[in-house]
Amino acid sequence: MTTAAHFTAALRDRRPLLGYWSLLDSPVAAERLARLGYDYLAFDAQHGLFGYQGLLNNLIATDTRGSTAVGVVRVEANDPTYIGRALDAGAAAVIVPLVDTARDAADAVAAVRYPPHGRRSYGPMRAQLRIGPNPADTHEQTAVLAMIETADGLANVEEICATPGLDGVYVGPSDLRLAIGGATSTDPYVADAFERALTRIREAAAAAGIAAGIHNGDGASAARRLAEGFTFASVAADVVHLQQIAATHLDAAREGRA
């Protein structure tokens, strides 16, 4: 089983990592996904269908026998309460949305670290069973990632990446495409500007020596982004893939019936 320490060390060393993105509150699905070979499962508490109990149950399920993955949580907001609860439940890393400035990034880092290095409240509950109760172990084994997905976040990306204690940045491509002028989250007319933005984010992370991740709709896109220089990539997402594969089987069945 992959440990939080192994995952966080690989992330900080900028070694390639692959994850799967989950929107559905299904611990049974998480158990199966955790055994496939992904390095992490990311549970989306911002846009996904999780309450806190569901988040906890899915993090527990990720630690199933034979798991290759750790649990990561995209929290609801850059707020110490949301960040602390995800970490207390056993998340190896948090992805913090809507980081616009270096101050926002510093606030996220502070919410992950115990005093005197930050302001996380002590109460590791389940995390003490996976990571340990000692603050020093927690700081070594848990990571904080800032999402770059707004016009301000892109404009300030170099300063964000230079924030002490930040382990990486993560691109939200849908919001970022809208932020640079796209009419929709997939607008092809801003494709060139979008690619320039991705290059700027990758280069800023590399210059700061931190990880750079990105959200992807499929494995081929994830492979492309890793080849370009991103250091971790998520394949998204269970609810979309469930619909896609069910539709594929329905089409095949209809053709056979015709």
Which residues are the active-site residues?
47
Separation between Cα atoms, residue 177 and residue 163, nearest integer Å: 24
Three-state DSSP at 123 gives: coil
Three-state DSSP at 109 gives: helix
Number of neighbouring beta carbons within 10 Å of residue 96:
28
Closest C-alpha among 180, 181, 218, 217 to residue 198: 180
Instruction: Give the C-alpha distances (Å, rounded to integers) separating 164 from 108, 110, 207, 254.
Output: 11, 10, 14, 57
Phi, psi of 64 (to 5 degrees): -65, 160
Q: What's the distance, CA 244 to chain centroid?
A: 22
